[in-house]
Structure formats: C-alpha cells, structure tokens
C-alpha cells in the first residue's frame, strides 16, 4: 500500500538537468537580463509535438502537441514578459487540454536596481541538475517531456535586484502565498485498503508568505553567492489522516506541508583545465520529532568538476547529504499474538512506522549519510548540427541508478528533433525499481521555433 510513496520519492530526486552550462551562466536565462534596447518589442514562440512512451504501467505518459507564445516589451525603464503554453494530448493515458501561463510579470528597471511583480520562474545555484540552494519554484513532476525545465511552475512573487557594486547583485524575493509541487499519486496502485485525501494548503496570510535573498558576486576567475530562504518548502511530505481496522482496514493518507529556513552557498571557479562547482545548503526545521512529514535538519551538498576531454564536455559530481540529530525509526514489536488488544496496537504502530520510513525515503533521510555520483557527457558533431548526451546517476547508499541517453538534431533553422530514453533500476521493490515502471521509457519530439 506504500508503493505510490516510493515512486513519488524518485520523481523528486532523479530528474536532473543534464545540459552543461558555462562557468557563470544561470541554469535558466532571465528574460529581463538580456540586452534590450529602449522601446524594444519581441514576440517569439514555438510549436512542438512530444511523445514519452512505453512505460510498464502506461502506454503514454506524455503524447501531446503544444503551441507557445513568448512576448517581451521594454521602454523608458519599463519591462514586461509573458510566456503562455497551449497543449492538448494524452497524459498518462488520459486525454487533457490545458492553457498554462508559464510566466507573466512586469516591472521597472534602473541602472542599479530592478523590481518585478507577477508570475516568475527563478533558478538559483551553479551546479548542474542537482541544486541544493534552489528553493523558489515548485515543479510538476509528472509532466514528462524531453526537457526537464518544462516541469518548472511559475510563482507569483515580488522580486527586487540591487547592484551596489560592480560585478555584484543583491536579489530579494517575497512570495505572498504558497504553491506546492504537483504529484499525481492517483496514477498508482495504492492497495484496496489505502486512499489519499487532498492536502489542506496554508492560508494565504502574511505569516505564511515566503521570503528569500541572494547576494551574488561575479569575478573574472570565480563566482559565488550566499542565499537564504524562509517559508514553506515547495516539496513536502505525507501524514496519516485516519486509520480504521474495523470492519475493514482503511488507511487515509494526506499531503502535509512544512516551513523551513535554508542558508545556502554556491560557487563556480576556473581552475584550468577544470571548472569547479559547489553548492551547499543547511536546511533548518522544527517539530520534526513529532511530525513524520517534517524532515530532520540537514546539510545537503553537491561538488562537481567540468572540463572538455577532447571533443567531449564532461561533468562529474558527488551528491551528499548529512542528516542532523538522526535517530532510527523504532520498529514495533508484537508482544502477544493471541491478545486482540496487542494485535490492534501492533497494526496501528506498523502503519505509523511504515509511513514514517517512507517519509524518510522521500527526503533521503533513511540513513544518517547519503552518497551518490552523477556523470554527464556531451558532444556535438557536424558543426553543432547534431548533439549527443549521456547522463547517469548512481546512489551508493541505496544501490539504485538511472541512465539517460539523448540525441538532438538541428534539422533546419529553428527546427530541432530529439530522441532518447530514461531508465531507472535498483534492487527488487526498491524506489527506482518501482518508479521505473511508471516514469521510465523512450521519448522523442519535434520543435519548431519562430
């Protein structure tokens, strides 16, 4: 009855970006950071078809057509940007149509400061794929496409940026209401005795808002930043709403949300011929001993090396986590199998034990230390017309892994054709073993931009 939780775990942790970035390049470009002349207007977009198929549980986890419009306008210090997506197709074998406002915001720009208000997507950090300091935007982990960035969800926020000195920037963000990530637990077999209720979101009150700040410095040989986040984590755990054993067993689970404080640091440094990247965050939580859906305080860190080896761009990463104040979850013991009261107690405690353990797996806190390795290799051919990529992840602690090969062909000006696969595996009935049956498979797509 807990298999669906295992699958949710893997969705959070194993869908990294695999494309390398320059030493001081953000993971996503900021539309307002581009050099735009006064009174400039641009309108662009794309149309695409995308197929993600041949999973064990679903024929099509994503088969759709999409049309996107992105508009940008600036003039006299005023800036606005919008990104709207229209899509229709099959999503986990269900037919759906949707209009998504990816981003929609406006603001004012000065020489040394900017202010923007509206739905925005912000990415913090300098490492590739795994970004401990990135706490701002939620994700739709079940929107399966060749591009993992499609999963990012815009948050309504007030964003200000100050440039007090050359090569430095202070960014302050206020998010007035909470928007959680999206999980599709209804897609999984939970067992006849288990069900899942909708979570109760925090009230849209001032005390439930989130704030974040990041001070970034860019020097010729090194870039680094200090960051802070306070608020509800877009990623969340689960709690037990109710348990009934008579007349028939019934267990109701429910998403639950928690606040945290997060102090982060990220850097990228040139050390010829290598580029060294590092990120670390100290996540601070409270009341975790009495609430299974709240993770322990932790230090989550990623260190990486990047360089060109011949014509191949290579990235090597170590991903680690140290769980503070770690205590194993105490497994219940049946004292008297012939005592109905002891059997009832044991059944209730077993449900709590299993739920607590799976929450720990959600947060990768089942052990005091968690260790993993990640590698990404990419190469271009025929003057950048064809690009091949291969990425792989191996968790030393749990002995699970994934591999993701991809081929991209720039067939015409503005036209891109991509194809690849995503395979997850681990020991029998492990997280990746079960998640791979739903999320693994092949993908292909054609995208024409204008």
CATH number of the structural domain spanning residue 418: 2.40.160.10
- Vertex 221: Cα angle to 217 and 224 (nearest 5): 30
Q: Which of 49, 52, 44 is nearest to 68 (CA)?
A: 44
Predicted pLDDT of residue 4: 39
Confidence of residue 110 (pLDDT cuts 50, 70, 90): very high
Q: What average pLDDT does the segment 28-51 reach?
A: 76
Domains contained in the chain, number: 1
With a cut of 70, say whether residue 272 has pLDDT above it.
yes
Confidence of residue 79 (pLDDT cuts 50, 70, 90): very high
With a cut of 50, say whether residue 336 has pLDDT above it.
yes
Q: Which of 409, 395, 402, 414 is nearest to 445 (CA)?
A: 409
With a cut of 90, say whether residue 428 has pLDDT above it.
no
Q: What is the pLDDT of residues 293-303, one digit of tens each?
A: 999 999 999 99
- Residue range of the domain that includes 320: 3-449
Q: What average pLDDT does the segment 123-138 reach?
A: 93
Classify each residue of 308-324 as buried b or exposed e, where b means 16 or more C-beta atoms within 10 Å of its C-beta.
eeeeebbbebebbbbbe
Between CA 411 and CA 416 the distance in angstroms is 6
Contacts of 339 (CB under 8 A, 6+ apart): none
Identify the weakest region by mean pLDDT among 42-51, 236-245, 257-266, 429-438: 429-438
Angle, helices 340-362 vs 3-13, to 10°: value is: 20
Identify the weakest region by mean pLDDT among 284-288, 357-361, 436-440: 436-440
The mean pLDDT value of the chain amounts to 88
Predicted pLDDT of residue 310: 93
Pairwise pLDDT comparison (146 vs 97), residue with the higher score: 97
Confidence of residue 431 (pLDDT cuts 50, 70, 90): confident
Tell me the sheet residues that pair with 265.
226, 280
Share of the chain above pLDDT 70, in %: 89
| pTM of the full structure | 0.87
Between CA 55 and CA 145 the distance in angstroms is 14
Predicted pLDDT of residue 65: 97
Confidence of residue 190 (pLDDT cuts 50, 70, 90): low
């Amino acid at each position: 009855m807990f298999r669906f939780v295992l699958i949710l775990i893997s969705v959070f942790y194993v869908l990294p970006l695999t494309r390398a970035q320059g030493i001081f390049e953000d993971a996503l470009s900021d539309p307002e950071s581009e050099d735009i002349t006064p009174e400039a207007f641009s309108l662009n977009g794309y149309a695409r078809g995308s197929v993600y198929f041949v999973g064990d549980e679903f024929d099509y986890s994503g088969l759709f057509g999409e049309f996107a419009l992105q508009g940008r306008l600036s003039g006299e210090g005023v800036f606005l940007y919008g990104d709207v997506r229209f899509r229709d197709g099959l999503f986990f074998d269900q037919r759906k149509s949707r209009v998504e406002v990816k981003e929609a915001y406006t603001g004012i720009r000065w020489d040394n400061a900017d202010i923007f208000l509206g739905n925005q997507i912000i990415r913090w950090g300098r490492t590739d794929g795994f970004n401990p300091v990135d706490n701002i935007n939620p994700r739709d982990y079940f929107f399966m496409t060749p591009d993992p960035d499609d999963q990012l969800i815009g948050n309504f926020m007030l964003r200000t940026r100050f440039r007090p000195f050359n090569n430095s920037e202070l960014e302050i963000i206020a998010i007035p209401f909470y928007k959680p990530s999206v999980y599709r637990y209804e897609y999984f077999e939970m067992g006849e005795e288990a069900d899942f209720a909708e979570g109760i979101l925090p009230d849209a009150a001032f005390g439930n808002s989130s704030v974040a700040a990041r001070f970034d410095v860019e020097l010729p040989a090194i870039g680094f930043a200090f960051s802070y986040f306070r608020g509800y984590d877009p990623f969340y755990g689960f709690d037990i709403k109710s348990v009934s054993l008579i007349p028939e067993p019934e267990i109701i689970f429910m998403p639950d949300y928690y606040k945290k404080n997060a102090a982060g640091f990220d850097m990228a440094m040139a050390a010829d011929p290598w580029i060294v990247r590092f990120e670390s965050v100290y996540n601070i939580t409270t009341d975790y001993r009495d609430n299974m859906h709240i993770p322990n305080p932790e230090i989550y860190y990623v260190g990486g090396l990047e360089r060109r080896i011949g014509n191949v761009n290579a990235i090597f990463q170590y991903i680690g986590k140290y769980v503070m104040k770690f205590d194993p979850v105490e497994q219940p013991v049946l004292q008297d199998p012939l005592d109905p009261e002891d059997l009832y107690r044991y059944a209730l405690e077993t449900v709590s034990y299993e739920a607590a353990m799976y929450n720990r797996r959600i947060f990768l806190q089942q052990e005091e230390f968690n260790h993993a390795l990640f590698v990404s290799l990419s190469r271009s051919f025929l003057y950048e017309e064809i690009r091949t990529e291969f990425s792989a992840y191996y968790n030393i602690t749990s002995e699970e892994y994934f591999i993701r090969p991809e081929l991209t062909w720039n067939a015409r000006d503005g036209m891109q054709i991509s194809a690849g696969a995503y395979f997850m595996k681990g020991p029998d009935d492990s997280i990746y073993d079960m998640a791979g049956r739903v999320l693994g498979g092949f993908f292909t797509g054609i995208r024409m931009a204008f």
